[in-house]
Chain A
Amino acid sequence: MKTLDSALSPGMGAAILVVFSLIWIVFGYYLGRKNKSLDDYMLAGRNVGLAFATATAMATWVTSNTTMTAPQLTYQLGVWGMVGYSLGAVGLLLFAPLAKRIKALLPHGFTSGDFIRRRYGIAAWRIFLIISLFYAFGWLISLGMAGGILVNTLSGLDYHLGMSIILFVCVCYTLMGGLRAVIATDFVQTLIIIIGVIIIAVLVIQNVGFDTIHRNLKEDHPQLLNLLFPAAIMFLFNNLLFGVGEIFHSNVWWSRAFAFRENTGAKAYLLAGLCWLPIPVAAGFVALAAPSLNILVPSADMVGPLVAGKVLGSVGAVIVFIVVFSALASSLDSLLAATADLITQDIYRGHLKPDASNEDCLKASKFVILILGLGAWALCLLKLSTLASLLYFTGAFVASTIWPIVFGLFFRWPGKFAVSAAMVSGTVLGLASYFMIGFYVAALVSCAVSLVVTLVFSKFENHLFDFDSLQSTDKP
């Protein structure tokens, strides 16, 4: 067995980074010229068509965690790892009816926080903001770190340099173009990602073959083919709920529901979910070829790039580099834009300056994007944890919001105190299970606790909400 040296030279890695960085920045600048109002900048004019809507939902959900962590989890948990990861698509599919409902209930809404505040009041809104912002920062750091690791693994360029360039580029074009630039670049990035995944998977099949992979795994790593691998089965359900929690609560998806044209949101999320579903299987499958290729994997989160580099040589390394850079950018830009919206609308206008005009908010939003980029960069310098553990740490937080959002969108009975208690208790017990049992149960426990607390406490509150009150255009 041997480890694989960087398949790209640092010079080639830097050249690819510079070329693609320039493309995204020029694209962002060009699209940003059409933005005239706060709606244009934050929500792309609230009139995004089906093609862009589908591509942006799909591209945002195809993150570095799909292209790097799906192979990592497949390498650790086997077949259930890749199937479990693909169930992340359930979140997109289930969000389809929610997107339709959100647009109907809040035609002038900006953020997920808008809904929670108007539906459940100030206390629940603040708890939700803490959860949402913690998750957003966790995801941002996870993406920034993935960028640095990618660049370092594939080209030998310094981790800190790669991470800094990727964050800088995404901040630049998101700052200049707003959500319109994010969505348009997402379309191009989606095509690049899909084509890259197809090329790598097909060449792994051609060079190694199903028979060899299956035989070697059966002899040396039989647990990876075991359909009754308990930790992997727990992971499957946990990942499903984690994905649902991430999508249901995050302003990344709510801002798109507000931005998509009338009657487009449900179709877009449905198509995006169906298109996303097979990607973790195709991307994760290549990790199972690692033992057959005699690759010694120094860290499980590097297995995908290592296999591609080994099978495809320098061309493969270039493809992986471009694919993961696109995947990173497509998620980072969305997260920057949506988190900036949340901070601008719910913290700046909601707490600090209630009388802020739309022009004030436009300026504040740009400033927040800049600060978010700098904050993420500073935390990524520390390189705190492995990608998967950092990501799954936030599972306990987001899964607690699933029932308050779903019940709150469709039913009148959930109470303010009940959902506040549900989010707090779900998060606390989810975190406890994360540390006492493992990452693969955090979301499960959090979701179950939140469900019970929402149902039981709402019975005692005995209050029926008036949905018509959501239609007003009042500011926070």
Chain B
Amino acid sequence: MTISLFSFTALTLVALAMVCLSPLLLIALLVIDFKRGELW
């Protein structure tokens, strides 16, 4: 059973979109922690 072009494309693009959101999340958390004085 072969994965279809559509599923293969969707799998990769969804993963890539999630990867793109990660740095934004980390920077947002850093700003919040910094403002609260809770970095360390």
Contacts and interface: CB of A to CB of B under 8 A. Distances in A.
A274 B14 CA distance: 13
Contacts of B12: 201, 205, 210, 281-282, 285
Given A198-B20, A225-B3, A54 B29 contact: yes
Given A190-B26, A275-B25, A210 B16 contact: no
B3 A278 contact: no
A227 B1 CA distance: 5
A87 interface: no
Interface in A36-74: 44-45, 47-52, 54-55, 58
Interface of B: 1-3, 5, 8-9, 11-12, 14-23, 25-27, 29-30, 32-34, 36, 38-40
A211 interface: yes
Label chain B's interface by main secondary structure. Answer: helix
Contact of B40 (A180, A198, A225, A271): A180
Contacts of A271: 25, 29
Contacts of A261: 38
Label chain A's interface by main secondary structure. Answer: helix
Interface of A: 44-45, 47-52, 54-55, 58, 79, 83, 86, 180, 187, 190-191, 194-195, 197-198, 201-202, 205, 210-211, 213-214, 218, 222, 225-228, 261, 271, 274-275, 277-279, 281-282, 285
Q: Find the residue from A214, A277, A279 having the highest chain B CB count within 10 A.
A: A214
Nearest to A271: B25
A79 B3 contact: yes
B16 A282 contact: yes
Given A50-B33, A225-B3, A282-B12, 16 more contacts: A48-B40, A49-B38, A49-B40, A54-B26, A55-B26, A58-B22, A190-B23, A191-B23, A194-B19, A195-B23, A214-B9, A227-B2, A228-B1, A275-B18, A281-B11, A281-B15
